[in-house]
Amino acid sequence: MKFIVSSSALLKQLQGLQGVLTSSNTLPILDNFLFEIDGKKLTITASDLETTINASMPVEAKDKGSVAIPARLLLDTLKAFPEQPLTFSVDPKHFGIEVSSDQGNYKMTGFNGTEFPKSPALEEPTKFTLPAGTLATAINKTIFATGNDDLRPVMSGIFFELSDEAVRFVATDAHKLVRYTRTDVSSPATASFIVPKKPLNLLKNSLTATNADVTVEFNENNASFTFDNIRLVCRLIDGKYPNYEAVIPKQNPNKLTMDRQSFLNSIRRVALFSNKTTHQVRLSIAGSQLAISAEDLDFANEANEKLTCSYEGEDMTIGFNSRFLMDMLTNLDSENIVMEMSAPNRAGILLPSGGSEHGEDVLMLVMPVMLNN
């Protein structure tokens, strides 16, 4: 089996797939990329059994066949080459691989491609499509709020909630929550499923370079995302997602409106002086003035700042984890934000002021922390 391919084009494809690779694979064959030649098309696959991603690209070839090539060695080799055509020759008996370049020849040992685990086929899937940019934005705005608790695996992914009116993406770790809704996208069936974080991070990176529509197919166990020349299949998280609507407070009479960037910059500075365990900042709102303060009693560090704001409601003092606030303010796009609160021991809600762009609705919730007065 023989094929000729551009070194930089091949490297670009492999770099898009390498995020699947892990150092603790249960099957040694998964430390390889699967190369499959069919006509003038090369399909490359990487898998960790939970997530499988493949990409296809044009090559010069006459043969048909497959081989598994050591991933790390191939990536490191390609990074060391300038742009040029490379000729891959594969011995079909022993799976020895010879790569010929302008500079010389390089030999490595591959493996039988038929030993590579097959990508799961989705039986009777439900299908819907959405623009790549919409999916990338949804992942970006929610993935930071997912949890890392092994005891609550359902919270370690993004909850997709589909209906014929909208598609909703939810992420929470019980301290913060993001609900991102698109009313300009819909699904033929009402359904919901939880996608793990790892395949979503891989998707996010690949989606930035395309304007194509993404076809999403899913059944009870798996979901697949297909666009351009890429297909990603992943196993879904099994379990029931918590009733997130129940934790969103409906009556929030106290409304603070602020310039988003000024608020973010102020919290960044003040948070440097907060306790390194709690990352706690205190917001004291009175009239049109917001005082932001933090202290670390162990080191006698303290910081205070005052900002002008627009505020409706009773004067109040409330504490938050500064990291959570910074994450949320970074992931909101609007010039001004509205923070809605009911009491110092109830969750605060962050919304873009003046609404979101057409078809988009975003709500972020952050739980307060107890203040030691």
Q: How far apart (Å, rounded) are the C-alpha atoms in residues 124 and 74? A: 37
**For residue 141, what pLDDT band results from cuts at 50, 70 and 90?**
very high
* Helices and strands: H and E segment counts in the chain: 6, 27
Mean per-residue pLDDT of the chain: 94
* Predicted pLDDT at 328: 97
Is 336 in contact with 257 (CB distance < 8 Å)? yes
CATH code: domain 249-366 is 3.10.150.10
Tell me if residue 184 falls in helix, strand or coil: coil
Is 171 in contact with 142 (CB distance < 8 Å)? yes
**For residue 373, what pLDDT band results from cuts at 50, 70 and 90?**
low
Start-to-end C-alpha separation, the chain: 74
Angle between helices 132-142 and 197-207 (to 10 degrees): 130
| Phi–psi pair at 126, nearest 5 degrees | -95, 145
| Phi–psi pair at 21, nearest 5 degrees | -65, 135
Tens-place pLDDT, residues 69-92: 999 999 999 999 999 999 999 998
Q: How far apart (Å, rounded) are the C-alpha atoms in residues 335 and 288? A: 18
Q: How far apart (Å, rounded) are the C-alpha atoms in residues 286 and 183? A: 37
* CA nearest to 344, candidates 305, 315, 307: 315
Is 118 in contact with 30 (CB distance < 8 Å)? no
* CA nearest to 20, candidates 234, 237, 219: 234
Angle between helices 7-17 and 71-79 (to 10 degrees): 140
* Predicted pLDDT at 358: 77
Phi-psi region of 149 (alpha: psi -120 to 50; beta: other; left: phi over 0): beta
CA dihedral in degrees (309, 311, 314, 318; nearest 10)?
A: -50
Tens-place pLDDT, residues 302-336: 999 999 999 999 999 999 999 999 999 999 999 99
Angle between helices 260-271 and 322-330 (to 10 degrees): 150
Percent of the chain with pLDDT over 70: 99
* Predicted pLDDT at 120: 86
* Predicted pLDDT at 7: 96
Q: Where in the chain is the domain with CATH 3.10.150.10?
A: 2-115, 126-245, 249-366
* Predicted pLDDT at 23: 86
Across residues 278-295, what is the average pLDDT?
A: 96
CB neighbours of residue 367 within 10 Å: 17
Tens-place pLDDT, residues 161-183: 999 999 999 999 999 999 999 99
CATH class entry, domain 2-115: alpha beta
CA dihedral in degrees (69, 71, 74, 79; nearest 10)?
A: 160
Q: How far apart (Å, rounded) are the C-alpha atoms in residues 348 and 331? A: 16
In CATH terms, the fold of domain 126-245 is DNA Polymerase III; Chain A, domain 2 (3.10.150)
Across residues 212-226, what is the average pLDDT?
A: 96
* CA nearest to 303, candidates 336, 279, 326, 323: 279
Q: How far apart (Å, rounded) are the C-alpha atoms in residues 25 and 23? A: 6
Is 3 in contact with 63 (CB distance < 8 Å)? yes
Residue 4 has pLDDT above 90, yes or no: yes
pTM of the model: 0.92
| Phi–psi pair at 272, nearest 5 degrees | -60, -25
Percent of the chain with pLDDT over 90: 90
